[in-house]
């Protein structure tokens, strides 16, 4: 009876391990029955662990997809808010209506021709669409004045790059763009504003935003 039970257990162990049972004495290198059982148990434990890891991977993968979707939605909402800001300016300043969009198009084209990274090109697109935002802080009578500006009025207009950068300063994702916006009226010869920067001292993004081509002051 004991022998029969032992043979059945040996048979089960053989199934688990793929080892044939012959009833012959173990040869050198063959596993003894207790070792076979231990190997089978370890194999079972390993398979269980692999299944647990697979389940964990599925949960993590789903969570990553959810986070990625939330990130994209957040980014879309942020860009929509920025677009709203740009349109707010255009509603206030009729002369710049369509101006930001045109400047943005030129900036993207130029940045692409320069071979800049896609991420940088997209940042330039955003910076260019917001570059004149500071005009929100300039009085309508000056912005929409049909006759030439006085020196005092022009001095006020010249504050708009700095005002724009200060409006956007609390927005952490725009940190890199602020110097491009603040210096978009600098000139390579140092005759621009607000700081009279010259040549390559002007941030690259500010050199690419092409205000002189389709410019308002
Ligand atoms: Fe400007």
Distance (Å) from CA 182 to ligand 1 centroid: 9
Distance (Å) from CA 64 to ligand 1 centroid: 41
Distance (Å) from CA 7 to ligand 1 centroid: 91
Q: For residues 22 and 7, give the distance between their C-alpha atoms in angstroms, rounded to a whole number.
A: 10
Contact (Cβ atoms closer than 8 angstroms) between residue 168 and residue 177: yes
Residue 181: name the closest of 129, 106, 127 by CA.
127
Spell out the per-residue pLDDT of the chain, length 217, in tens.
444 554 555 555 555 554 545 556 666 667 778 888 888 999 999 999 999 999 999 999 999 999 999 999 998 999 899 888 888 888 877 666 778 888 889 999 999 999 999 999 999 999 999 999 999 999 989 988 889 999 999 999 999 999 999 999 999 989 999 999 999 999 999 999 999 999 999 999 999 997 655 444 4
Contact (Cβ atoms closer than 8 angstroms) between residue 175 and residue 195: no
User: Rounded to 10 degrees, what is the CA torsion of 42, 48, 54, 56?
Assistant: -110
Distance (Å) from CA 82 to ligand 1 centroid: 17
Residues whose CB falls within 8 Å of the CB of residue 173, separated by 6 or more in sequence, listed in order: 78
Distance (Å) from CA 166 to ligand 1 centroid: 14
> Whole-model pTM above 0.85?
no
Residue 128's alpha-carbon distances to 45, 64, 86, 95, in angstroms, are: 60, 32, 10, 16
Q: For residues 211 and 44, give the distance between their C-alpha atoms in angstroms, rounded to a whole number.
A: 70
* Angle at 87 (CA atoms; ends 210, 71), nearest 5 degrees: 90
Distance (Å) from CA 153 to ligand 1 centroid: 14
Contact (Cβ atoms closer than 8 angstroms) between residue 211 and residue 103: yes
Distance (Å) from CA 134 to ligand 1 centroid: 8
- Look up tokens 């602020």; give the residue: 178
């Amino acid at each position: 009876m004991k022998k029969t039970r032992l043979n059945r257990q040996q048979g089960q162990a053989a199934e688990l391990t793929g080892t044939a049972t012959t009833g012959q004495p173990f040869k050198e290198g063959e596993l003894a029955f207790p070792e076979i059982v231990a190997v089978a148990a370890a194999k079972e434990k390993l398979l269980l662990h692999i299944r647990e890891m697979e389940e964990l991977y599925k949960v993590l993968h789903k969570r990553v997809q959810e986070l990625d979707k939330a990130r994209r939605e957040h980014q879309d909402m942020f860009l929509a808010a920025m677009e709203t800001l740009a349109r707010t300016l255009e509603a206030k300043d009729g002369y710049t209506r369509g101006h930001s969009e045109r400047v943005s198009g030129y900036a993207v084209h130029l940045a692409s021709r320069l071979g800049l990274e896609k991420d940088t090109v997209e940042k330039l697109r955003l910076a260019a669409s917001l570059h004149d935002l500071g005009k929100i802080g300039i009085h309508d009578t000056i912005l929409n004045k049909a006759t030439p500006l006085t020196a005092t009025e022009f001095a006020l207009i010249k504050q708009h790059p700095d005002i724009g950068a200060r409006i956007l300063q609390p927005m952490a994702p725009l940190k890199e763009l602020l110097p491009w916006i603040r210096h978009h009226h600098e000139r390579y010869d140092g005759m621009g504003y607000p700081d009279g920067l010259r040549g390559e001292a002007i941030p690259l993004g500010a050199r690419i935003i092409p205000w002189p081509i389709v410019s308002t002051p």
